Amino acid sequence: MVVFIVSHAILPRRPIRERLVRHLGRRGYLVAYSVLSTLLLLWLVVAARNAPYVQLWAPAPWQALVPAIGVPLAFWLLVMGVVEPNPLSMSVRRTGDGVVGPVARITRHPILWAFFLWAACHVPPNGDVVSVIMFGSLAVLALAGFVPVDRRVRRRLGDEEWERLAGATSIVPFAAILAGRARFAWTLPMTLSAVAVAGVSAWFLIDGHRLLIGGDPGAWLGL
């Protein structure tokens, strides 16, 4: 957990990030950063599975409903956050004309929200010390990323461009839309990604989680 947190605290720092971007390019940096994060996360999960089990609360069937509802939403936010243009946050596609995609109008940090939802939703059904430390720390780490990312992007874009783009978005999901600063638009890519995420999530709930990670949330839900 310490290695995971330290890597996410050091690599995004301005001098290190700028040096890596010069050598790898922005997209190369993001890809390398994502691969490293994924590998460290897998290492963390394996270590957590092998750690001693110390129960904090008893399991109950309702607890499985939390990730069953929240994780598909997190997965969808992750997919759309990666593929949509978003000059205000982490995204593989950052267009030069300052295009903010429909999902970014919901929240300008869909990837961070995805990781927060994924981590937070795994706390209720995993009531042991190691799981609470791991998932709780990952949730806090995701929340802690909002302000540094905003500050970094504002410095890169400049105050005027930042104000223009950020005015149509918000950190809190749907806040800009409810305030009338952005217009909600459901697009074909959003629909296709939602269908794909629903299919993968159904398989993961019924059999995938048990095969790849262990535990059987589908059994808790009577599937």
Give tens-digit pLDDT for 47-72: 988 899 999 999 888 888 899 899 99
What pLDDT does residue 89 have?
84
Q: Cα(100)–Cα(176) distance, rounded to whole angstroms?
A: 13
Domain ranges of the chain: 1-50, 61-220
Which residue has 């691969």 as its token pair?
A: 35
Other beta carbons within 10 Å of 56 = 10
Tokens of 129: 């010390």
pLDDT digit string (tens) for the chain, length 223 residues: 889 888 888 888 878 888 888 888 878 888 888 899 889 988 998 898 889 999 999 988 888 889 989 999 999 999 998 888 888 887 666 555 567 788 989 999 999 999 999 999 999 998 899 999 999 999 999 999 999 899 988 988 899 999 988 988 999 999 999 999 988 888 888 999 999 999 998 888 887 777 777 777 766 666 5
Other beta carbons within 10 Å of 165 = 20
What pLDDT does residue 140 have?
93
Q: Cα(153)–Cα(99) distance, rounded to whole angstroms?
A: 14
| Predicted TM-score of the model (pTM) | 0.84
Which residue has 């978005």 as its token pair?
A: 169
What pLDDT does residue 12 have?
80
Q: Locate all alpha helices (DSSP H) within 100-128, ordered by sequence.
A: 102-106, 110-121
Q: Cα(46)–Cα(64) distance, rounded to whole angstroms?
A: 21
What pLDDT does residue 76 have?
94
Q: Cα(184)–Cα(135) distance, rounded to whole angstroms?
A: 31
What pLDDT does residue 220 have?
66
